[in-house]
């Protein structure tokens, strides 16, 4: 069976237990999704399904290749398409099948894949956690990187040296998150802790694979 779903991050809130314990949770609108394409070893070299996220508003513009792709499946177009690998090639998953939030249950252990927030151009301290120099008067070395290479040899900055630059907008995977609550009526997942990305970001939610 399909072990994942596409979701949209709605934000964070808190859940209060009867004993007063507070649990921070991320609210994700998970699905509904529809199977747009079934990929097989014989045709594509691997087993997977391509899911489309069904949203309230259909995409305003769609190019001809994607239009033909959805017409072949006999489905209305969706803006977000993502693939999920299948562990078992014998899974009876067909084009048009719906994948809903009831795929998950409370206390399930999952992983969430998303794109981190963009932070723009960031310095050494913020981007890499450099300690910086002394903050005392007259030091003139507060948030500088220090030496970035030797002068004699190789007389250049080595590739990969940690320096200031663009921060964020990276694919991140957060593992071993716990499902706190599932709302099947509104397709909501409440996940303990935070997940990558800003409010409104699209994420992939997968069940933890068992050995």
Q: What residues contact 125, with CB distance under 8 A and at least 6 apart? A: 131, 132, 143
Number of domains in the chain: 1
| pLDDT at 58 (0 to 100) | 78
Average pLDDT, the chain: 88
Distance separating alpha carbons of residues 1 and 35, to the nearest angstrom = 12
Closest CA to 100 of 45, 54, 66, 143: 54
Domain with 91, as residue range(s), is 4-207
The residue ranges of the chain whose pLDDT is under 50 are: none
Quote the pLDDT of residue 177: 92
pLDDT of 210:
57
Q: What is the pLDDT of residue 62?
A: 85
CA distance 50 to 35: 6
Indicate which CATH number applies to the domain containing 149: 2.40.30.10
pTM: 0.81
pLDDT computed for residue 126 by the predictor: 92
Q: Retrieve residue 109's tokens.
A: 């252990």
3-state SS class at 74: coil
Query: Can you give the pLDDT at residue 154?
Result: 86
The closest alpha carbon to 166, from 127, 117, 197, belongs to 127
Q: Which residues of 200-210 are buried (b: 16+ CB within 10 A; e: fewer)?
A: ebbbbbbbeee
Q: Which of 110, 38, 125 is nearest to 73 (CA)?
A: 38
């Amino acid at each position: 069976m399909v072990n994942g779903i596409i979701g949209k991050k709605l934000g964070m809130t808190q859940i209060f237990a009867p004993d007063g314990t507070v649990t921070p949770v991320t609210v994700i609108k998970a699905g509904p999704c529809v199977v747009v394409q079934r990929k097989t070893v014989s045709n594509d070299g691997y087993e997977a399904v391509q899911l489309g996220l069904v949203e309230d508003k259909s995409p305003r513009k769609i190019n001809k290749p994607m239009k033909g792709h959805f017409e072949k499946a006999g489905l209305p177009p969706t803006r977000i398409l993502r693939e999920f690998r299948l562990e078992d090639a014998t899974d009876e998953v067909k084009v048009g099948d719906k994948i809903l939030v009831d795929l998950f249950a409370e206390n399930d252990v999952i992983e969430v894949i998303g794109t981190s927030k963009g932070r723009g151009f960031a310095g050494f301290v913020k981007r890499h956690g450099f300690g910086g120099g002394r903050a005392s008067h007259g030091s003139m070395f507060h948030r500088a990187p220090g030496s970035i290479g030797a002068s004699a040899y190789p007389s250049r900055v080595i590739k990969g040296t940690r320096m200031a630059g663009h921060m964020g907008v990276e694919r991140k995977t957060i593992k071993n998150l716990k499902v706190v609550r599932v709302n099947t009526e509104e397709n909501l997942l409440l996940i303990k802790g935070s997940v990558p990305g800003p409010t409104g970001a699209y994420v992939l939610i997968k069940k933890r694979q068992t050995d």
